C-alpha cells in the first residue's frame, strides 16, 4: 500500500507541476495577446496623431497639442484613452506618464514601449508610449492607455480552470491510489511478503498465486519455482545426510570390531587364569577329596573367578555393540577409566604402561559416552602402536581455555580437555596435514586401516569440539581432545 501511495503521489506531483506550468504559460499568452492588441491599436493611431501633434505644436504650441489629443480621444470607440505626456515630468503631475520613472528611460523613449501601470482610479492599465519629437529640448510623446479589466478577467478564468484541473487530478489520483494500492499492488505484495516469511520459517509448500499478467505475477511464479527447487534440494540433502550418517555409523562399528579383534588375544589370555582356577576347584569338588569345610571356600573361589570373567566379557560386548547417539551429562574421568580398563592388557602385551590419575575431581560434560570412549580407544591404541620399544602413555583430564583452529580472529572458549601423550616415534611434518584423512596410515600392512583417527576426529567434531596434535619425530606425540563447555552437538 505504501508503494502504491508513493507512486500515485509522484504521478500526482508530476501532473500538478504540468498543470501549473500550463496555467502559467496560458496567462503569459493572454498577456502577450493583450499587449500585442494594445500595441497594434497604438501603431494604427500613432503615425497619424504624430503628424497632427507636430503641426499643432508648430502653430499653437502646447495648447494646440492638447486640442488635438482631446479631439482624437473623443473620436476613439471603446476604452482606449490617449493623452500627451512629458517623459521628464515629475510623477503625479498632469502631464507625467502613468508608468514609473525607472520604466521610462532615455533609451525607452526612442522607440515604441509597452508597460503595465496603475491608473489614477487604482485599476491596472496597459500603457503604450509613442515618442514624438517636437521642436523643443523636452522629450514627450503619446500615451495610449488600455484598461486591463478584460486581461485580469481572462487571467482569473485561467487560474480557476487550472485550480479546477488540479483538484480533479487530486480526486482521481486518490481513487486510483485506493484501487491500485489495494487491488493491483497492495494485495499482491502482501501475498508475496507472507510467502517470503513462510520461506524464512522453513515452509516451502503452499505456493502463491496472483491472477494477473504483470511483473508481480512473474515474481510470484519465480518464487514458487525457487521454493520447489529448495524443497528438492532439502530433500536431497536430508537423504544424503541420512546415508552419510548411516555410513559413518557402519564405519565406527567396523572400527570397534577391529579393535575388539585386536583385544581378543589379550582378553583370551586374561580369561585363561580364571578358567584354570575354576576348572581346578571344580575338579577337587568333583573328586570328593576335599573336606566338607573346604568345599565352601572352593565354591566361593569359583564364583569370584566367574564374576571376573563375566565382567571382562561384558566390557568387551558393550564396547563392540552398535548404539545410537545418546547425549548425557557424564564424568569424563569415568569414561577414561573404563577405556583404561579395556586396554591395559593390550598395553602390557606391547610393553606399554598406561598412566592415569583416577582420583581427581569429576569433570562432567554433555557427551555420548560410548562415542567418546571409541574416540579415546582409537587414540590410545595409536599411542601404544607408536611405541614399538614400549614406553608410557599418559592420560590427563582437565579444563582450560582454547581457540578453535578455524576461528578468525581467535576467541578463546572454556573447554573440557582429554590429553593422550606417548613416548613413541612421533609424526613426520609432511604427514601432519593428512593425519585425519580416511584410509591414510603410515603403519605396516595389517597394523591399521587408516580409519581410527578419522573416526575419532568425526566423533569429536560432532560434539562441537576438535583435536589438536603436537609431535616431533623421535620425541613422541600429544593428542588433545577439546570439548567446548556448553557446545551444542
Assign residue 466 the CATH number of its domain.
Answer: 3.30.565.10
Which of 51-60, 84-93, 96-105, 342-351 ranks highest by mean pLDDT? 51-60
372 in a structural domain: yes
User: Of the candidates 130, 156, 182, which is a domain's last residue?
Assistant: 156
**pLDDT score recorded for residue 77:** 57
Q: Which of 126, 156, 186 is the last residue of a domain?
A: 156
Long-range contacts of 296-300 (CB under 8 A, 24+ apart): none
Rounded to 10 degrees, what is the CA torsion of 104, 106, 112, 115? -10
**370 falls within a domain:** yes
Q: What is the residue range of 21's domain?
A: 2-156
Give residue 489's pLDDT: 59
Check whether 481 has a pLDDT greater than 90: yes
- Position 107 scores a pLDDT of 46
Q: Say what the pLDDT of residue 395 is.
A: 92
Q: Is the pLDDT of residue 293 over 80?
A: no
pLDDT band at 155 (very low <50, low <70, confident <90, very high): confident
**394 φ, ψ to 5°?**
-100, 130
Helical segments of 90-210, H only: 149-179, 187-200
The reply to whether 192 falls in a domain is: no
pLDDT in tens, 313-345: 665 555 555 455 678 889 999 999 888 888 887
Confidence of residue 113 (pLDDT cuts 50, 70, 90): low
- Alpha-carbon distances, residue 306 vs 265, 300, 440, 446 (angstroms): 19, 10, 42, 34
- Distance (Å, rounded) from C-alpha 128 to C-alpha 143? 6
Has residue 181 been placed in a domain? no
- pLDDT tens profile 189-240: 778 888 888 888 888 777 887 777 777 788 888 888 888 888 888 888 888 8
Which pLDDT tens digit goes with each residue over 243-273? 877 777 676 666 666 665 655 655 665 566 6
Is residue 304 in a domain?
Answer: no
Please tell me the total count of domains within the chain: 2
Q: Which of 111, 132, 156 is the last residue of a domain?
A: 156
- Tell which wins on pLDDT, 84 or 176: 84
Amino acid at each position: 500500500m505504501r508503494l502504491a501511495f508513493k507512486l500515485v503521489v509522484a504521478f500526482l506531483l508530476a501532473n500538478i507541476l504540468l498543470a501549473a506550468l500550463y496555467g502559467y504559460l496560458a496567462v503569459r499568452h493572454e498577456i502577450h495577446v493583450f499587449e500585442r492588441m494594445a500595441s497594434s491599436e497604438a501603431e494604427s493611431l500613432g503615425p497619424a496623431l504624430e503628424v497632427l501633434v507636430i503641426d499643432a505644436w508648430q502653430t499653437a504650441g502646447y495648447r494646440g497639442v492638447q486640442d488635438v489629443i482631446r479631439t482624437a480621444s473623443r473620436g476613439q470607440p471603446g476604452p482606449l484613452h490617449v493623452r500627451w505626456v512629458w517623459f521628464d515630468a515629475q510623477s503625479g503631475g498632469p502631464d507625467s506618464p502613468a508608468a514609473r520613472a525607472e520604466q521610462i528611460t532615455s533609451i525607452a523613449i526612442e522607440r515604441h514601449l509597452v508597460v503595465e501601470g496603475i491608473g489614477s482610479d487604482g485599476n491596472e492599465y496597459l500603457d503604450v508610449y509613442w515618442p514624438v519629437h517636437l521642436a523643443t529640448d523636452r522629450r514627450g510623446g503619446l500615451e495610449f492607455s488600455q484598461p486591463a479589466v478584460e486581461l485580469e478577467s481572462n487571467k482569473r478564468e485561467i487560474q480557476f480552470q487550472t485550480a479546477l484541473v488540479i483538484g480533479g487530478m487530486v480526486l482521481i489520483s486518490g481513487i486510483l491510489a485506493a484501487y491500485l494500492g489495494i487491488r493491483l499492488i497492495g494485495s499482491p505484495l502482501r501475498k508475496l511478503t507472507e510467502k517470503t516469511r513462510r520461506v524464512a520459517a522453513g515452509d516451502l509448500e503452499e505456493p502463491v498465486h496472483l491472477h494477473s499478467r504483470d511483473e508481480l505475477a512473474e515474481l510470484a511464479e519465480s518464487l514458487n519455482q525457487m521454493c520447489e527447487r529448495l524443497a528438492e534440494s532439502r530433500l536431497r540433502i536430508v537423504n544424503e545426510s541420512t546415508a552419510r550418517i548411516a555410513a559413518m555409523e557402519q564405519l565406527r562399528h567396523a572400527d570397534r570390531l577391529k579393535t575388539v579383534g585386536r583385544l581378543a588375544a589379550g582378553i583370551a589370555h586374561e580369561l585363561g587364569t580364571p578358567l584354570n582356577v575354576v576348572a581346578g576347584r571344580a575338579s577337587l569338588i568333583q573328586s570328593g577329596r576335599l573336606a566338607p569345610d573346604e568345599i565352601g571356600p572352593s565354591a566361593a573361589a569359583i564364583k569370584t573367578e566367574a564374576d571376573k570373567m563375566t565382567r571382562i566379557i561384558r566390557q568387551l560386548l558393550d564396547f563392540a555393540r552398535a548404539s545410537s547417539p545418546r547425549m548425557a551429562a557424564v564424568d569424563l574421568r569415568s569414561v577414561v577409566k573404563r577405556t583404561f580398563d579395556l586396554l591395559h592388557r593390550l598395553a602390557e602385551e606391547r610393553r606399554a604402561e598406561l598412566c592415569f590419575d583416577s582420583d581427581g575431581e569429576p569433570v562432567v560434560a554433555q557427551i555420548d559416552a560410548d562415542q567418546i570412549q571409541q574416540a579415546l580407544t582409537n587414540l590410545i591404541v595409536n599411542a601404544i602402536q607408536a611405541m614399538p620399544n614400549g614406553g608410557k602413555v599418559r592420560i590427563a583430564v582437565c579444563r582450560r581455555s582454547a581457540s578453535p583452529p578455524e576461528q578468525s580472529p581467535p576467541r578463546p572458549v572454556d573447554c573440557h580437555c582429554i590429553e593422550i601423550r606417548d613416548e613413541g616415534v612421533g609424526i613426520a611434518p609432511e604427514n601432519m596435514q593428512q593425519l585425519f584423512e580416511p584410509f591414510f596410515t603410515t603403519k605396516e600392512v595389517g597394523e591399521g586401516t587408516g580409519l581410527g583417527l578419522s573416526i575419532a576426529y568425526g566423533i569429536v567434531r560432532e560434539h562441537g569440539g576438535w583435536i589438536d596434535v603436537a609431535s616431533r619425530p623421535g620425541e613422541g606425540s600429544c593428542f588433545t581432545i577439546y570439548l567446548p563447555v556448553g557446545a551444542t552437538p
